[in-house]
Amino acid sequence: MPEAILTLNAGSSSIKFALYECPAGARRLVSRGAIEGIGAAPTFTALATDGTVLEDKHWATGTHLDHEDLLEPLLTWVTSHLGEENLVAVGHRIVHGGSDFHSPTRIDDTVLAALEKLVPLAPLHQPHNIAAVKAIGSLRPGLPQVACFDTAFHHDMPAVATRLALPRIYAEEGVRRYGFHGLSYEYLIARLRELSPGLADGRVIAAHLGNGASLCAMRNGRSIDTTMGFSTLDGLVMGTRCGSIDPGALLYLQQADGLRAADVERVLYHESGLLGVSGISHDMRILQASEDPHAREAIELFVYRLVKHVGALASVLGGLDALIFSAGIGEHSAGVRAAVCERLAWLGIECDTAANTRHDSLISTSRSPVRVFVMATDEEAMIAEHTARAMSTLSS
Ligand code: AMP
């Protein structure tokens, strides 16, 4: 019977999924989709690879369904859609693997308990990842599940890149830099290797610029440093997250403004970034279409911080051979890419304006010593690949 793998990326308000057929070791995407509006008005949509709607289910506003309630119809749909095929495993995106998990891991009770211990390190993401694991475990008890970690790609960063300059005792309890978006960076460097193996072994910076945004500096295809650190707050300005911030400002908010820890968390994760600075939206498209000077200021700050961090990582790498733009803003905003490339001209970057406007995959000129790429990322494909490999390792 042909085999299939389901990937899940579970957050607080949505669960993204992808379904792959795996005939004879190959892998073919058959459907992508999402359960959205969890806690408000849930919807379940599944699309074929050509965009045809395969399933579109809506629940009434105010319907409170948990992960298990919502994954049940997804599993039922998967089973009916697969027909003769056999769902052999579910691969999960797990945001935090801590210091111990640095490769895809088959989930059992011991692993699940260890993942739960990491919740304090990623309180806004890890509980939802775990809820999906538990829901699948309860709905299909025998179905193998594999954890694929966002932190794993950065596990071998040089020790100096993992340190925070705090008293050592805090590092011992896990307060160190981990890095995130690892599944995306792993995918992007693999695509660069297909295009140009030599470049993939060189000095590369990838920019994952979505609602969450970070940079990763790579050498020989491995992470050397990255802008997100202990949490997903560090580094670049994001949709609603602040990026790098003077810790003194947080002390001020608590001491002078009387904000409690939960208030500070809300401000830093949900009310800052493009949304906080513009006062209009977290969405780059809306800001780019706006005449409001605060929208322009927010975009300017986004680009400024991006350029500043690329400069810092280029120093860490000792130069730059390739820059990759990816995720929503990186793939689609020619304006942001042009502004970033223009300010990085000192690094040797020369952007081909026509290629950039067309969103070509290569947007640097033939004279540019730094090659600049635009790539779609695919974290689901990476999860499916890891899950298939973890299953075959276990069965061999
Ligand atoms: P992601 O998290 O990867 O889905 O990326 C979301 C971000 O990408 C949002 O800020 C969107 O506004 C931005 N984005 C998507 N499409 C475009 C576009 N055509 N131009 C500018 N930004 C875009």
Residues marked as catalytic: 150
The residue whose CA is least distant from atom 8 of ligand 1 is 328
Mean pLDDT computed over 13-35 = 89
Residues 303, 343: contact at Cβ < 8 Å? yes
Mutate which of 14, 299, 333 to test ligand 1's pocket (most atoms within 8 Å of Cβ)?
A: 333
Q: 61 falls in which pLDDT band (50, 70, 90)?
A: confident
Cβ within 8 Å of residue 333, ≥6 positions away: 209, 284, 288
**CA atoms of 204 and 215, how far apart (whole Å):** 10
Q: Which amino acid is at 358?
A: R
User: Looking at domain 4-149, which of 3.30.70.2740, 3.30.420.40, 3.90.1150.10, 3.20.20.10 is its CATH number?
Assistant: 3.30.420.40
Report CA(284)–ligand 1 centroid distance (Å).
6
Q: Is ligand 1 within 6 A of the CB of residue 284? A: yes
pLDDT of residue 13: 85
Average pLDDT, the chain: 94
| 370 pLDDT higher than 70 | yes
Q: Which two tokens stand for residue 6?
A: 């389901």
147 pairs with which residues across the strands? Answer: 92, 105
**Residue for token pair 């020619």:** 334
Report CA(369)–ligand 1 centroid distance (Å).
28
Q: Is ligand 1 within 6 A of the CB of residue 275? A: no
**CA atoms of 102 and 154, how far apart (whole Å):** 8
Q: Which two tokens stand for residue 391?
A: 């299953």
| Poorest-pLDDT segment among 80-84, 142-146, 252-256 | 80-84
The SS3 of residue 231 is coil
Q: Is ligand 1 within 6 A of the CB of residue 14? A: no
Report CA(239)–ligand 1 centroid distance (Å).
10
Q: 37 falls in which pLDDT band (50, 70, 90)?
A: confident
Residues 326, 359: contact at Cβ < 8 Å? no
Neighbours of 221 (CB within 10 A): 16
**Residue for token pair 């599940």:** 145
Cβ within 8 Å of residue 59, ≥6 positions away: 41, 42, 43, 65
**CA atoms of 251 and 162, how far apart (whole Å):** 23
**CA atoms of 224 and 186, how far apart (whole Å):** 13
Chain segment 162-221, per-residue pLDDT in tens? 999 999 999 998 999 999 999 999 999 999 999 999 999 999 999 999 999 999 999 999
**Which ligand 1 atom sits closest to the C-alpha of 377?**
3
Report CA(330)–ligand 1 centroid distance (Å).
8
Equal fold, 4-149 vs 182-379: yes
Task: For the chain, give every domain's residue range.
Answer: 4-149, 182-379
Q: Which alpha helices (H) appear in 243-372, and where do they start and end?
A: 247-255, 261-270, 273-278, 284-289, 293-317, 327-332, 334-343, 353-357
pLDDT of residue 71: 93
Tell me what percent of the residues of the chain surpass a pLDDT of 90. Answer: 85
Q: Which alpha helices (H) appear in 145-272, and where do they start and end?
A: 159-162, 168-172, 182-195, 197-200, 247-255, 261-270
Mean pLDDT computed over 106-131 = 94
Tell me what percent of the residues of the chain surpass a pLDDT of 70. Answer: 98
- CATH level 2 (architecture), domain 182-379: 2-Layer Sandwich (3.30)
Chain segment 68-117, per-residue pLDDT in tens? 888 999 999 998 888 766 899 999 999 999 999 999 999 999 999 999 99
DSSP at 346:
G
